[in-house]
Structure 1
Amino acid sequence: MRVVFLTAGAAGMYCGSCMHDNALARSLRNPTDGASGIDCLLQPIYTPIRTDSVSVAREKIFFGGIHVYLLQQMPWLRFVPKSLRRMLDWPPLIRLATRGAASTDPAKLGALAVSMLKGTEGRQAEEVQRLACWLEQEIKPDVIVFSNLLIGGSLPLIRQRLPGTKTIVMLQGDDIFLDHLPQEARAEAIRLCSDLVKSVDHFVVNSRFYADRMSALLSVPEAKIATIPLTIDLSPYKPRRPSGEEAKPFRIGYLARISPEKGLHRLVDAFLHMAERDQDVTLEVAGWLGEVNRPYLNSIEDRIREANLAARFCYHGSPTLEQKVRFLQSLDLLSVPTEYEDPKGLFALEAIASGVPVVLPDHGGFGELVASTSGGVVVPPNDHYALADAILALKNDPQRRTELAEKGVAMVHQKHSIEAACSALRALFES
């Protein structure tokens, strides 16, 4: 069986969806559970992907981010010889252009998003044809997996060119992008996405929450939805060694992209509130920082200094995989109080697998994730007082933290390993 994953690169930043797609493709190729390997290609769209583990993605890019943007802004570019335009898809050039960039601002890309969803009717029609020809003539896949529906404008043509190929779309944050589009572009993009549903055999989601949300938004039939719990490659993560004596200070951790939507400022609010009552807490922060969000981090650091707590706060930068594992093992608890309803939360699984309890807002997929793993607690969203109270309650109850850690590690290995996801995907491929 030959499977192609089409995964959207994230403009030079670490992206949970990219890393998860990479882990799935690697595990499908070389399973560790005794299953037969699958001939699986991981094909980047827009930009090269960036992961914190070994990437198995191809170097070649389709719909190069620079190229499709210029085609949208300057339609006459399609008359420039292809041999010259292909230079725009050169991966080193794309990496250079997106180095240090933040996540793409969807509010500025409404027209491009709509054009991409139009497929052969959009300004990137030639690129749609190029992808379909490559799949039909060179790859001949049995299954094509799209990392989200927003890159699915080529689906109708692919169905026409490869009628026997199964099409699967992972839904993992599509609504967040759509909700940030200008109103007119959002309405048109939703209509186009809904039209693409008939060209998809299966939609994969990680939670019941997201199945309900996307089904309502895009009119996806229930029969087409497959729920596969969120998973990670567990091999790098080992439970932290409990010390015989409670160490001080108590280390509260944050591990996610440094951006307002991830809610670091909410955790800082809770930390400042806790610091008034408890002298033995520190806030340890790690995650990718784009230039556009540097002022955001600077403002947070200013607040910490003004509260005379600079000695109890540390930003550890963007960690490698090895550094991330060590960072997690150094924590007593992790919290990422996102502003939006996150459908995933890979950082939560990574912490729980490391024996670190989590405290998360009770929205998005977090409630289901915490219930499934028993590795933490949830609190009302956007309430830093409730967040502070929950963290301090766990700080003052080491036995409860130990119970959450031990149960969490066991349940993550039982339900949320990448091997479990691959097994479910193989069943879907063969169904």
Structure 2
Amino acid sequence: MRVLQLTPGTGSFHCGSCLRDNALIKALRTRGHDALLLPLYLPLVTDADEANPEQGVRVGGVGLYLQHKFPFFHKLPKFIHRWVNSESTLRWASTKLGMTSARDLGEMTVGSLEGEKGRQWPVWNELVDWICEGANADVICLSNALLIGLAPALKRRTGKPIVCALQGEDAFVDTLIEPYRSQAWALLQENAKHVTKFISPSKFYAEVMSKKLAVGPEAMTVVPNGINFETFLPVRPTQEPPSPTIGYLARMIHGKGLTTLVDAFILLAKKKSIPGARLRIAGTKTEADDKYIAELKKKIREAGFENRVSWEPNLSFENKVQFLHELSVLSVPATYGEAFGLYIAEAQGVGVPVVQPRHGAFPEILEITQGGVICDPDDPQALAVALEELLLDDARRHKMAATAKVNARAHFSATKMAENFEKVLLEVTTTAAKAPQPA
């Protein structure tokens, strides 16, 4: 089966969607499929073994922005297009993520979802032309629902089924200012009619997006995210941390619960029940996050625990893996209902138990892995108590870590994800082949 996967890149930092899609394409190839991963917006940042290093970005984010702002942009000389879509320009632009105004962000999102009716279409149309002329795909997969402005044209012009993965889009769309939030949801619902099947990473998120997109449960299939755990070996030998170490691994923002975790750590450190306890904060950081992080650092410094907290932004893949192996427990107490939380599978797959809030997909994941503790959301005191109890009970923590490692690797591997994904692809392509063809 010829599978085409369209995935937005980040350009300068690791992202769960990029890692997931890269692992998926490689695992589908192992299963005998001709699978191609095509980056959009910015270059992909994955592990050391990229699925398609020869594939450049097809739709550059800078060119797309300029097309939206200046409708004549697509008519400018080709050398200008080559420059704005060059890897160096795109990687520079990636460092400015998060600096876009709320209005521009809303306009760009709606413009993309408008598809053929939007000002961005001359750029998107070049991608559709390429897919129709050269991709020869049996099925076209979109990495997330924010790409489904492409679905009507792709389905009409290729006649192939369109599969769309879901990756937590509601958390983004719901932060847009009005009128763009309402416009975006209306366009998502309209474009959803042209998607053959949606793939959700959890039962929780399937229910959320079934309502948000106004599609029936038959349009949704649950395929948990997966990881190639073979690449998660430490670069140097590890052992139990000399001091109990709490880790955080996600974007360094309030929404991922970093404020809650910092407040919980301060409460725990003041209690002195776990002498020498440390907090290591890692994950994506952009310029837009600097002010927020500076405020947290000030809070920690004023509490007197600056020397017990480390900040490790934008780790390489190898350093991220090493980081995970050096933790006693991980917590990313997101303030909203996560669709999955790949960092949970990553941590548990190397034997690190987690403490997570009781919402989103977290209870569902931890029921499967039996490798973590659930506590009340947005409550630093409850989080501090849960972390304290786990760190004080070595036997329970070690047993939980061992169980989590086995179960996470059994249920959330790239191989398992590809196996389940393959079933969906075979279903939609078989159904499409049996459908009556237009005269």
TM-score range for the pair, normalised by the shorter chain length: over 0.9
Matching of residues 123-162 of structure 1 within 5 Å: 123-162=119-158
* Structure 1 pair 352–317 and aligned structure 2 pair: CA distance change class (3 A): same
Q: 1:20: how far off?
A: 0.9
- Percent identity reads 35
Q: Which residue of 2 aligns with 1:275?
A: 269
Q: Which residue of 2 aligns with 1:200?
A: 195
Q: Which residue of 2 aligns with 1:10?
A: 10
299, 310, 316: which one pairs with 1:314? Answer: 310
CA contact (8 A) 1:238 1:353 kept: no
3-state SS, counterpart of residue 78 of structure 1: helix
Q: Which residue of 2 aligns with 1:179?
A: 174
Give, as a single letter, the amino acid of the residue that structure 2 aligns with 1:310.
Answer: E
Q: Which residue of 2 aligns with 1:374?
A: 370
Q: Which residue of 2 aligns with 1:26?
A: 26
TM-score (structure 2 length as normaliser): 0.91
Q: 1:82: how far off?
A: 4.7
CA contact (8 A) 1:106 1:177 kept: no
* Structure 1 pair 386–97 and aligned structure 2 pair: CA distance change class (3 A): same
Q: 1:73: how far off?
A: 1.2
335, 357, 361: which one pairs with 2:357? Answer: 361
Give the Cα separation in 2 of the matches to 1:422 and 1:106. 37
Q: Which residue of 2 aligns with 1:189?
A: 184
Unmatched 5+ residue regions in structure 2?
Answer: 428-439
378, 386, 389: which one pairs with 1:393? Answer: 389
Moved over 6 A (4+): 239-243
217, 232, 237: which one pairs with 2:232? Answer: 237
Q: 1:255: how far off?
A: 1.3
Give the Cα separation in 1 of the matches to 2:311 and 2:294. 11
CA contact (8 A) 1:13 1:100 kept: no
State yes or no: 1:344 paired with 2:343: no
State yes or no: 1:260 paired with 2:258: no
Q: 1:106: how far off?
A: 5.8
CA contact (8 A) 1:228 1:421 kept: yes
What is the aligned-residue RMSD (CA, Å)?
Answer: 2.1
Give the Cα separation in 1 of the matches to 2:110 and 2:293. 33
3-state SS, counterpart of residue 40 of structure 1: strand
Q: 1:226: how far off?
A: 0.6
3-state SS, counterpart of residue 377 of structure 2: coil
Give the Cα separation in 1 of the matches to 2:349 and 2:99. 27
State yes or no: 1:42 paired with 2:37: yes
State yes or no: 1:66 paired with 2:39: no
Q: 1:75: how far off?
A: 1.6
3-state SS, counterpart of residue 179 of structure 2: helix
Question: For residues 219-263 of structure 1, what are the alpha-carbon distances to aligned partners after superposition, in whole Å with 9 as ceiling and x for unaligned?
Answer: 1221111101222111133599996xx864211111112122212
State yes or no: 1:110 paired with 2:134: no
Q: 1:101: how far off?
A: 3.4
TM-score (structure 1 length as normaliser): 0.93
Aligned residues: 423
Of 416-425 and 246-255, the range deviating more from structure 2: 246-255
CA contact (8 A) 2:241 2:326 kept: no
3-state SS, counterpart of residue 310 of structure 2: strand
Q: Which residue of 1 aligns with 2:288?
A: 292
